[in-house]
Amino acid sequence: MFSTLNARLADVGVDIATIGFFSWLGITYSIKVFWAPVVDRLTLPILGRLLGKRRSWILLAQAGIAAGLYLMAQVDATVNPELMAWCGLLVAFASATQDISIDAYRIEIAEERLQAALAATYIFGYRFALLVAGGGALVLSAYWSWEAVYTIMAGLVGIGIATVVIIKEPQVNHFAAAADIAHKVEREAARRSHLSPRLARLTGWFYAAVAGPFVDFFRRYQELAVAILVLVAVYRIADIAMGVMANPFYLSFMGFSKEEIGYVTKIFGFFMTMTGALVGGVLVMRYGVRKILLAGAIMTAATNLLFVLLAQYPPDIYTLAVVVSADNLSGGIANVALIAWLSGMTSASFTATQYALFSSLMTLPGKFLGGFSGIIVADFGYAWFFTVSAIMGVPAVLLVLFLMRHGRRLDELAPAKSAAPVDP
């Protein structure tokens, strides 16, 4: 959505500084952990009774996305960029909320052994949506107005709304650990602070919603909790940091045309990523998640070195296709393994919040370090930059090996029992 918005703003003549400020809308995805506790603990009054907790939140978020896109279709960004920014913020906030809810739904709807297959399906849907909202929107804008394009995108949200109505709600115990924490805090608050029963109950609810997911995670994984969080933070650093300089490398350094880059890295790369995701799902189910997590970490770092070789030779479209294939295949396998692994570690009582924490950690370090990528390229060149990005993948490999040595301990601490289905 944000790349399409940037294209629209540039197309209608909005100045480049303003377009840069619009990129801040994407921060909502990195800070969604702050309102994930509300999605976890609060059941919506009417929709919750009709659809259940997870489906009702997804539906509310989709309504916000559709409304925001429709409003963006009505706003002239050159006349009122502030209003366009507020509409974009509505879409961004609703989209991040939808991510929180869908991640929780995906984890709760099936047992742990099926999480890899669900992760592969999730990646396929996500990438396909990016293709439609990105390339598809740009193609349509060549024939129709931006207002019409955004109206069409708002209408396409109806597909997701219809799907939410059709699918079933997961039947899991959302409240076991959370209720236990809330009751303990409520009793302590009433005893020590002499609060009224209502305020003590509110204090317990708030503590369980905000602190409960973190207390549960650290209490559950004990001495391995920090290693798990560090691995989540560094696993995708090599991939994300390298991706920041990919397009400038293709265009400015190698001299490929925009059409060549579009066909190879976007369209062909899309199918390679999907292939990697499907292969990753099968491999996880066959060999276990931690082995494929290790393979994904090694492959991600190794494929960055292929770009070092690519930089040594004149531009060749077929060589580019080979390198992009290897990079996207390894990325698809690694992402499926990571998502399946994280899904298996979340507690049913705090699914949304704990996974939001994981997904925020997955991207923030890579995005932060990626901001320095231009300095490295300017001072040392692309070959050195890609070498550094490959080296940045080594800590992930070492941490996976460390956790594999403690595999039996991790299995004992896993929240599989707390996520077990309950009788409806």
Query: Helices 146-166 & 53-74, crossing angle to 10 degrees?
Result: 170
pLDDT at 421: 36
Give the number of other CB atoms < 10 A from CB of residue 314: 7
Short-list 400, 402, 388, CA closest to 292: 400
**Token couple for 83:** 């209003």
Q: What are phi and psi of 143, to 5 degrees?
A: -115, -30
Please state whether 288 falls in left (phi above 0), alpha (psi between -120 and 50) or beta: left
Query: What architecture does CATH give domain 2-166?
Result: Up-down Bundle (1.20)
* Residues 309, 87: Cα–Cα separation, whole Å: 44
Topology alike, domains 2-166 and 211-415: yes
* Residues 353, 37: Cα–Cα separation, whole Å: 5
Burial class of residue 260 (count of CB atoms within 10 Å of its CB; 0-12, 13-18, 19+)? middle
For the chain, the farthest-separated pair of C-alpha atoms sits apart, in whole angstroms, at 76
Residue 172: beta bridge partners?
421
pLDDT at 181: 61
pLDDT at 184: 63
* Residues 73, 84: Cα–Cα separation, whole Å: 9
User: Whole-prediction pTM value?
Assistant: 0.77
Q: Any idea where the domains of the chain sit in the sequence? A: 2-166, 176-209, 211-415
**Token couple for 253:** 């350094």
- Name the DSSP letter for residue 299: H
Position 64, amino acid: G
Handedness of CA 220, 233, 343, 286 (dihedral sign): negative
Q: Where are the alpha helices (DSSP H) in 23-145?
A: 27-30, 36-41, 47-51, 53-74, 81-108, 115-131, 137-141
Q: Which residues of 144-180 are buried (b: 16+ CB within 10 A; e: fewer)?
A: eebeebbbbbbebbeebeeebeeeebbebbbeebbbe
Cα 3 to Cα 69, 83, 124, 128, distances in angstroms: 14, 18, 19, 15
* Residues 26, 222: Cα–Cα separation, whole Å: 33
Mean pLDDT (10-residue bins), the chain, 424 residues: 76 78 79 87 90 94 97 92 94 94 89 81 84 80 90 95 94 60 60 66 70 83 92 91 79 79 82 92 91 95 93 90 94 92 83 85 78 81 91 95 92 62 32
Give the number of other CB atoms < 10 A from CB of residue 318: 8
Superfamily of domain 211-415 in the CATH hierarchy: MFS general substrate transporter like domains (1.20.1250.20)
Q: What contacts 309, CB < 8 A, 6 or more positions away?
A: 323
Short-list 299, 288, 296, CA closest to 410: 288
